Amino acid sequence: MDLRHPYSDPSARVQLLYRLPTAPAPRRLLVVAESPELRSEVAAGWGSGEVMACDSAGFLRLATERSDCFDAVALPSTLSARAASRGIRNGHLLRAACRLLTPGGVVVGHLEHARALRRLKRPSAVVQLIAAAFDGDAICGPTGCCRLLRQAGLAAGECYYVQPHMHSPMGLVPSEAAAARAHFLRAVRSARHHWRASGHVVRLALCWAGLGGMLQGELFFWARRPC
């Protein structure tokens, strides 16, 4: 690793995001992801503390057998924008995380943003979004994410837009309406020379309307099990 530029590697920045919310000592981490690559990536950046990894089916089984045994649960791409993805509901996963966490422990993760414009270019994504609007378990945006975190018994939930994307993250944008609007307006104005005039105007209009979040394809969240 380049000691002066430890975050020059995109993977190091992903790992850094997963370390942002402070986990209590002794920092035992459980990484839950379907992809073995994602599990290794998040686990590798954890530093000191025990690390265990599994897929979501294994995670749900584990939560029936044990409780209060992890200080952090990472859910990289584990929750779904769609309702009941792979037959597993988001609410079940979050309740399992809450059960496995020690008091004060943190759940942290990222997922696809269902309302991202880029995603909505696909007709199937539009249909999924409409279906998700009628399903309390689906996560369409940051508000829905924070609601599900609360319903699972987790507290102090926060959800951000990832800028520009999780493959090479450079920032987390707050999802509170006024802050998000102000942030996206600033970002688009300061990068005026990056786009043609028409592209700039469209982005500016979206941000003025408070829809700047639709330009971002992923959400990042965290919450704690109450002490």
Partner 1 sequence: MLSTVLELVDERGWFDTATPHEKAIHLTRGHCLWMLLSRGGKLHTHVKFSDCLSLEVEAARCAAASRSYPELAPRFVGYARHRGIDILVSSAVESAAIDPMTFGDQLPPGLADYFSAMPRARAAADAAATANAALLEKVAHYFEAHPLAALARQWLEPSRLGPIADLATMPQHGDFVLNNLGRLPTGRLVVFDWEDYGAVSLPGLDLFTLELSLADRRGLAPARGRAADRPLAREACAAMGLPQSDYDRLMPLYALVFRYLKRNYGPEVRERMDAEITGLAGAVLA
CB of 54 to partner 1, least distance (A): 25
Q: With left for phi above 0 and alpha for psi between -120 and 50, is residue 111 left, alpha or beta? A: beta
Query: Of the two residues 10 and 91, which places its CB atom closer to partner 1 in the complex?
Result: 10
CB of 212 to partner 1, least distance (A): 12
Find residue 4's DSSP bridge partners.
none
Binding to partner 1 in span 165-224, by CB under 8 A: 169-174, 176, 178-183, 186, 189-190, 192-193
**Contact indicator for 104, 24 with CB cutoff of 8 Å:** yes
Distance CA 15, CA 37 (A): 13
Q: Is 122 in the site for partner 1 (CB under 8 A)?
A: no
Q: Is 6 in the site for partner 1 (CB under 8 A)?
A: yes
Nearest to 81, CA basis, from 126, 14, 42 = 126
Query: Of the two residues 91 and 104, which places its CB atom closer to partner 1 in the complex?
Result: 104
Q: What residues have CB less than 8 Å from 178, skipping those under 6 apart?
A: none
| Options 6-14, 65-73, 91-99, 143-151: segment touching partner 1 (CB under 8 A) | 6-14
Would you give the binding string for partner 1 spanning residues 10-49, x where CB under 8 A is met?
---x--xx-xxxx---------------------------
CB of 210 to partner 1, least distance (A): 11
Q: Is 164 in the site for partner 1 (CB under 8 A)?
A: no
CB of 33 to partner 1, least distance (A): 21
Would you give the binding string for partner 1 spanning residues 44-73, x where CB under 8 A is met?
------------------------------
Q: Report CA-CA distances (Å) from 28 to 46, 65, 67, 127.
A: 9, 17, 13, 40
Q: Is 160 in the site for partner 1 (CB under 8 A)?
A: yes
Distance CA 1, CA 110 (A): 25
CB of 222 to partner 1, least distance (A): 9
**Contact indicator for 53, 29 with CB cutoff of 8 Å:** no
Q: Indicate the DSSP class of residue 26.
A: T
What single string gives the DSSP state of each residue in 146-206?
HHHHHHTT-EEEEEEEEES-TTS--EEEE-SHHHHHHHHHHHHHHTGGGS-HHHHHHHHHH
Q: Which spans of this chain sit near partner 1 (rule: CB under 8 A)? A: 2-8, 13, 16-17, 19-22, 160, 169-174, 176, 178-183, 186, 189-190, 192-193
